[in-house]
Structure 1
């Protein structure tokens, strides 16, 4: 097809150019064929536009080509909006070089060689001799050259170098309507198509809402797509409402590695499941950039097509921010927060393989100057989650710089493997994939009526509206010390610190009040931008958990539509109605919110709250029983539920080297003599000298337990008899230090001696 790039005669108001200067603007993303160039939409909010990226892993990519219609023949000056992406670091070389070719002839100027920031690079003049000219962008390196747009002009002045999204001069040159196409009639507009957005859209649609799902990428899944390849973590179908997670079960990936292969992330399956819902209109490749509000409510979200720049205005009754960055809430002036420093960073994972013949790799003097000792060897041919940087950088305003630094780190590492001290061992090695779409972990968080804290999670603070089970440990990332010392400007390798005092079997129930804005009355949120603190984000941010948030929000939105109420009213007035929806199978469906539900025959069987065989209910045991869920645990305890016969929802274990302690608080119900018992599962790797201390009043008693041997009765082992008074507070402590092996802790039982 012909690309008829629009032109018109502009006045001096639009440009600082002579009146009636003729202009022809070609947006790179609108090329008829992108060849091997990739569309990058991550940084629109800061640089103003999507652009094409020559992400060839060191091998020049195929030309992007298009046909441009010119109003008349003659000489045109050419400007190309681009940058030298390593210039900000004063790096040697120019890895992003490319040419512009018009009707088969390259311009003399080479692009991608100047500019710390995006700017209009003067390419000199070109003689246009045909009404329809072929224009091509030719990559020269394969190392991430980038092109935003090309301007052919009859005067010598470059266009405005604004970072505004679709400014008037661009819209006019592209012949776009001043008024966007209005898309109305939606009960719910969901912005963001990751796990949270998909869970929200599918849930709301099945509850009877008419839904628009707006996603600025060509695929769904976000970090769990083939573009980023983070496997989906977090247990689903757990806790008080084990039906939550059944929708996530339908679309989640089954990747066995992170990063896995393209096929493992099943982009096509995700899209197929969403498109199968008659109540969902899916808008891939639409970037939301503007929000209309009135009286603390959102009335519409504006988005433009990242391929054509066509604009749409999505109006609806309710809106959901699933962008990760809290973009919709930020534009609507919702209350938000962002940890000022020490945030988790962005990952760009990578993979390599080995062939049958030697494979060359270009020298990369512009990359980080690395030797093999400067990075963790990518075993199993994978650069994993810990290739992460940007901890104290602007996670939104400088996201492109963080991504580019990550690329320099990966290319520098592979250069060491191929051309430096690793060359002898990697003669046949070649890169197979590097994520150019970043995997951010933390940025803005939108504030709700509850701001969940890390202490809330660890102390198991109960909220009436707790509904989404978070089963991931409080997993916070920091720069690994040796890399922070050597690469203090921006360490590129992280370490994860886990606070494992989380019930990974049953899950900590995150309250519903974290899922809507406290000051924008019709705005929900789901995903990593919900109302939590930095520490609590460490457990709530994983993808399956975010997907379950979406399921809850979709159900809440249907009540808001049916009852003509606001998200806050669900908790205050309609929580009993909400609980009924939370008990429904994930495949329950009604055409509208007024209809009755149909339950398909292929609905999943209801899980027991742990997704596993049910443990022993503590209330069925004699005496007083304190489960490990209610014990005070130090770090290093690991949740498990694989061994049958446990009490409650699982058990915990620690290794001797962990020096871990667990303290069970027991309240004496009446005066008398009691036997204290501990529950554990025997194994050959268990400790034979596990220290156990009973503390009561000012006294204590210490003994050791051989956990290689089976307990004496019903899975419990007696550690002695004691006389207590009514109301006494007892602490039973188990320690792994000096245990002689692993320590297993399940429950403590206080039984009256007859």
Structure 2
């Protein structure tokens, strides 16, 4: 039974993904399983037997890597074992003509560009369990066809990729040729033509249908856009090139989604984002366990929408246009190589790389030097900790569990001559060295500041950027384990092989937002999404960059008054559509901003709110038969009305009224922190304070009072918390803050009392000891006849002064 028969029997139009229209997750899993088992045979032509590595029936411990697919024409398999060989990938191959075949394996020595010894990505090819004499992944800095020698093949055999090291070996394809003088093509476009001919996929792409809105990119921005548009009655296709939704916020990359949602004057923008993204709680953050990112939560929200057709594992790489209008995109499945064509009235580029806009000929900008890099986050595991072993995500978990139960808790690690040589260099987590805003040595390993690619092309050089991150991780762990003799029972626990990008192409809209717009508080007639993250631009950290020009792997973020602004700052709708492609929206880090303005807009909850607005604007486009620009020119008031509507409301039809689903109980957004109304005494939140100078409100630590908190290092900054009392007497004054090592060691408070001004100094690096995160700073008398205040003074504070709330409780 072939793939098309599988689709027909499951009532799918063209592929398993087309069935993702409000079905249960288990149904999705059954479809994919049937597809992979029945639909990925090795191709045996008369002259050649061609096997795409990603089409192996059983992938074992190998991962499908599609990040360089546009450059290579195909994904490849990666043996990402963190130094432990991964389980074999296995498939069955039929032979039409038995005889002698020349073996070719497309691979590379991934560390060869750095001219270092070792060739870590070694693997073997097994035929019926017997290894060929040649070891692959041992030569060539570039992808090439590695000569595997000659082999006798009969009617059929089992083919396996046998990883020898667990250190990032990679295989693109295998070709067995009856023509012993033949070498497969290695350059484009000949190579892609050869692939598709051998797989019998030369024909036109399959018709995947027509939609009101086609969203390309299933990160938080794209998923929010798809859900928002679908709930407004549009027929939506959501195309994502990975098996999970969430992008950088997924368990594959594990960046915690930042940015404050549900801000005034449009407090319902962010409703959908909060459905998709799990709430912050103890244990949340970057590079944590996979359950923290809750991939299923995102998938469940999408599958519950009958108007969404979800196309997972499809990568868009062709865009069809007519008169500056996109008419269709073509996408290739990252496993089967099947190509589909998706037509639409409107398109949303939520790829992060502006892929759709670039292919459509949209105006764009991209930085050619000084880019922010990409991170491949990682963490470590203590084999002596049974709980950590129980929750281990290691590919050899069964073996590890047996070792731990037997008391074998020592975790040796080999010397790695091919890794970044850090034996005599500082890096965060080594000795007393720390990265920015990190504290314990373990917390310094694998965090957000492990970042490279500052002078590289974030699209065409992404494999090399990721590989440098891998060399840095392995080099650091080698130095810690074997040079410093630390962490004898620890091993590498998890690492992302998908890079988390920060910067790429940016499409140009009718407004190109600048960083000075944030600083100056520029107001727009079309406010669309709130920004609360600081102007966060990353550069190589000078403390860790010596002798590493072009190979820097630790970053630091911009800080200080120059990179702060008063938030929330509402950015304009006109940054969310292309100025020269008539029907193209965008949401995410590829919107219309100048380079420095990427800093505030790129965090994922903020990107998701862009998507929500795009979905609402798309409905106006279809309902009013207008363009994204036409929404601004003629229907801006309608967009603002929609932005006040709860994200949970749906339309039964395109022209129906927005209504809550049957049985739904709307809960208006509550304070994100502790509710001031539920605390005893008089509460003055930071939102009611009178701030002077530069204060930032883009923090993300939990436990604050009300909607947020502020902090500042501006020596000219101050904050006044005014209050009065309804009964004269003595009151205990309490201050709320969230401790952090970058907080002020000597935050000065001036308390206006009935007996004059009193000065208090507090150390905000230490946690408050009172209830609800408050700390008593003394008891003071206040009368009825005056207004009073608690004043925070930043000058001389020796760190970030944190202001959150003031509490006055009658003294007992």
Identify the TM-score tier after normalising by the shorter chain.
Answer: 0.7 to 0.9
Unaligned residue ranges in structure 1 (runs of 5+):
10-21, 616-625, 665-676, 693-702, 720-732, 748-754
> 2:53·2:77 contact (CA, 8 Å) conserved in 1?
yes
CA 1:448–1:365: 2 relative to 1, 3 Å: same
2:245 equivalent in structure 1: 220
1:239 equivalent in structure 2: 264
CA 1:314–1:743: 2 relative to 1, 3 Å: closer
1:575 equivalent in structure 2: 636
Distance 1:183 1:50 in 2: 22
**Deviation by residue 1:261-288 (Cα, 9 ceiling, x = unmatched):** 0111111221122111100011111011
Distance 1:562 1:247 in 2: 22
CA 1:46–1:629: 2 relative to 1, 3 Å: farther
Shift, 1:505, TM fit: 9.1
Is 1:179 the equivalent of 2:204? Answer: yes
Is 1:391 the equivalent of 2:391? Answer: no
CA 1:33–1:735: 2 relative to 1, 3 Å: same
Indicate the SS of the match to 2:558. strand
1:68 equivalent in structure 2: 93
Distance 1:183 1:510 in 2: 35
Select which of 719, 725, 736 maps to 2:794.
Answer: 736
1:12 equivalent in structure 2: none
Select which of 653, 656, 662 maps to 2:717.
Answer: 662
Indicate the SS of the match to 2:251. coil
**Deviation by residue 1:127-151 (Cα, 9 ceiling, x = unmatched):** 002x222111111111010000011
Shift, 1:553, TM fit: 0.4
Distance 1:734 1:505 in 2: 17
CA 1:344–1:165: 2 relative to 1, 3 Å: farther
**Deviation by residue 1:652-703 (Cα, 9 ceiling, x = unmatched):** 444xxx4521389xxxxxxxxxxxx8748874998557699xxxxxxxxxx9
Distance 1:636 1:579 in 2: 25
1:699 equivalent in structure 2: none
2:387 equivalent in structure 1: none
2:377 equivalent in structure 1: 349
2:470 equivalent in structure 1: 407
Is 1:51 the equivalent of 2:76? Answer: yes
1:593 equivalent in structure 2: 654
> 1:372·1:413 contact (CA, 8 Å) conserved in 2?
no
Matches within 5 A, 1:118-197: 118-129=143-154, 131-155=155-179, 156-164=181-189, 167-197=192-222
Is 1:307 the equivalent of 2:335? Answer: yes
Is 1:536 the equivalent of 2:597? Answer: yes
CA 1:503–1:509: 2 relative to 1, 3 Å: farther
Distance 1:185 1:65 in 2: 37
Q: What is the TM-score of this pair, normalised by structure 2?
A: 0.78
Select which of 493, 501, 510 maps to 2:571.
Answer: 510
**Deviation by residue 1:295-322 (Cα, 9 ceiling, x = unmatched):** 0011111001111000000100000111
**Deviation by residue 1:530-563 (Cα, 9 ceiling, x = unmatched):** 1112221111110111111111101110110111
1:30 equivalent in structure 2: 55
Distance 1:328 1:110 in 2: 40
> 1:444·1:529 contact (CA, 8 Å) conserved in 2?
yes
Unaligned residue ranges in structure 2 (runs of 5+):
1-36, 385-408, 430-440, 678-686, 724-732, 737-744, 761-776, 806-812
Shift, 1:251, TM fit: 1.4
CA 1:716–1:448: 2 relative to 1, 3 Å: farther
> 1:40·1:51 contact (CA, 8 Å) conserved in 2?
yes
Aligned residues: 682
Distance 2:56 2:789 in 1: 76
Is 1:321 the equivalent of 2:349? Answer: yes
CA 1:689–1:315: 2 relative to 1, 3 Å: closer
1:6 equivalent in structure 2: 43
1:358 equivalent in structure 2: 410
Shift, 1:353, TM fit: 1.4
Shift, 1:612, TM fit: 7.3
CA 1:226–1:636: 2 relative to 1, 3 Å: closer
Distance 1:80 1:454 in 2: 49
> 2:185·2:191 contact (CA, 8 Å) conserved in 1?
no
Distance 2:534 2:718 in 1: 19
Indicate the SS of the match to 2:133. coil
Distance 1:628 1:516 in 2: 37
Distance 2:527 2:462 in 1: 34
Distance 1:715 1:551 in 2: 47
Shift, 1:394, TM fit: 1.2
Shift, 1:482, TM fit: 2.1
Distance 1:89 1:481 in 2: 22
2:303 equivalent in structure 1: 275
CA 1:90–1:238: 2 relative to 1, 3 Å: same
Select which of 77, 80, 86 maps to 2:102.
Answer: 77
**Deviation by residue 1:406-434 (Cα, 9 ceiling, x = unmatched):** 0000001111122222x2x3221111111
> 1:84·1:96 contact (CA, 8 Å) conserved in 2?
yes
> 1:78·1:125 contact (CA, 8 Å) conserved in 2?
yes
CA 1:267–1:682: 2 relative to 1, 3 Å: closer
More displaced stretch, 216-225 vs 256-265: 256-265
> 1:691·1:739 contact (CA, 8 Å) conserved in 2?
no
CA 1:735–1:298: 2 relative to 1, 3 Å: same
> 1:386·1:495 contact (CA, 8 Å) conserved in 2?
yes
> 1:238·1:607 contact (CA, 8 Å) conserved in 2?
no
**Deviation by residue 1:437-469 (Cα, 9 ceiling, x = unmatched):** 111100111111111111111211111111211
Is 1:103 the equivalent of 2:128? Answer: yes
Is 1:485 the equivalent of 2:540? Answer: no
2:479 equivalent in structure 1: 416
More displaced stretch, 709-718 vs 110-119: 709-718
1:723 equivalent in structure 2: none
> 2:534·2:696 contact (CA, 8 Å) conserved in 1?
no
> 2:566·2:696 contact (CA, 8 Å) conserved in 1?
no
> 2:695·2:710 contact (CA, 8 Å) conserved in 1?
no
Distance 1:164 1:523 in 2: 28
Is 1:209 the equivalent of 2:234? Answer: yes
Shift, 1:628, TM fit: 6.7
> 1:627·1:746 contact (CA, 8 Å) conserved in 2?
no
Is 1:602 the equivalent of 2:664? Answer: yes
Is 1:367 the equivalent of 2:429? Answer: no
> 1:96·1:144 contact (CA, 8 Å) conserved in 2?
yes
Shift, 1:393, TM fit: 1.1
CA 1:6–1:638: 2 relative to 1, 3 Å: closer
Structure with greater strand percent: 1
Shift, 1:222, TM fit: 0.5
Shift, 1:373, TM fit: 5.2
CA 1:274–1:361: 2 relative to 1, 3 Å: same
Distance 2:332 2:242 in 1: 12
> 2:422·2:479 contact (CA, 8 Å) conserved in 1?
yes
CA 1:439–1:642: 2 relative to 1, 3 Å: closer
Q: What is the TM-score of this pair, normalised by structure 1?
A: 0.84
Distance 1:100 1:714 in 2: 88
CA 1:91–1:574: 2 relative to 1, 3 Å: same
